[in-house]
Amino acid sequence: MITLRTNTLPKYCYGAARSMVHLRGLYLKECFEAWKQAKAIDLVLPETDDPSYVSLEDLLSHVLRADRGYIVWICKQLDLPDPEIEPTPALDAIAEQAEGYIAHLIERWAAPLANVEEKRFHRGEYESNWGVRYCIDAMLEHAVMHPILHLVQIKELIAAQTGERRNN
C-alpha cells in the first residue's frame, strides 16, 4: 500500500483545500487497494448500461480519469496553469500502470491550489463537465467523495460475492 504523509503537501492559503487534496489522495489509494482485491477474486460487476462498469478495468479507468478531470477543471475555472497530468493509462495497461499513475496524480494535485485564497473557493459557480454547477470548494468535496463511493461499492460487492462462494 502506498502511504501519503500530510507533510508532503506544501502550506496552503486555505487549509480546508489542503485537507481535501490530502483526503482525496488517501481515498484514491484505498479505492485502488480494494480494486486489487476485487481483481484477485475475479469480482463480477453487476449488469448495467453504465460503461464505467463493463469491467474492473473500466471501473478503475473511470475513477482515475475522473480524478484527473477534477483538478484540470478546477485549474481551468480558477485560471491556474494546467496541472500537466498525463492521460489515464489505456485499459489494457491500467492494472500494471495504476499505482504509478496514482502517485503521479497525487504529485500533480499537490501544488496547484496552494496559493489560492479561501474566498476564491466559494465565489462563483461553474458548470461541470457533466452539466452540474459547482463552486470550487464543492468540486473538491466531490473529488474526495468519488473514490469513497467506488471504494464502498467494491467492498460491498466483494463481501457479497465472497459470502456467496462460502455458502456454495
Say whether pTM exceeds 0.85. Answer: yes
Q: At what angle do helices 56-77 and 136-167 cross, to 10 degrees?
A: 170
**Residue pLDDT, tens place only, 110-142:** 999 999 999 999 988 999 999 999 999 999 999
Please tell me what DSSP assigns to residue 126.
Answer: E
pLDDT at 53 (0 to 100): 94
The Cα angle at residue 54 between residues 53 and 55, in degrees rounded to 5:
90
Q: Rg (Cα) of the chain, in Å, rounded?
A: 17
If one compares 167 and 17, the residue with the highest pLDDT of the two is 17
What number of CA atoms fall less than 13 Å from residue 65's CA on the CB side? Answer: 13
Summary mean pLDDT of the chain: 93
What is the third-level CATH fold of 14-161?
Four Helix Bundle (Hemerythrin (Met), subunit A) (1.20.120)
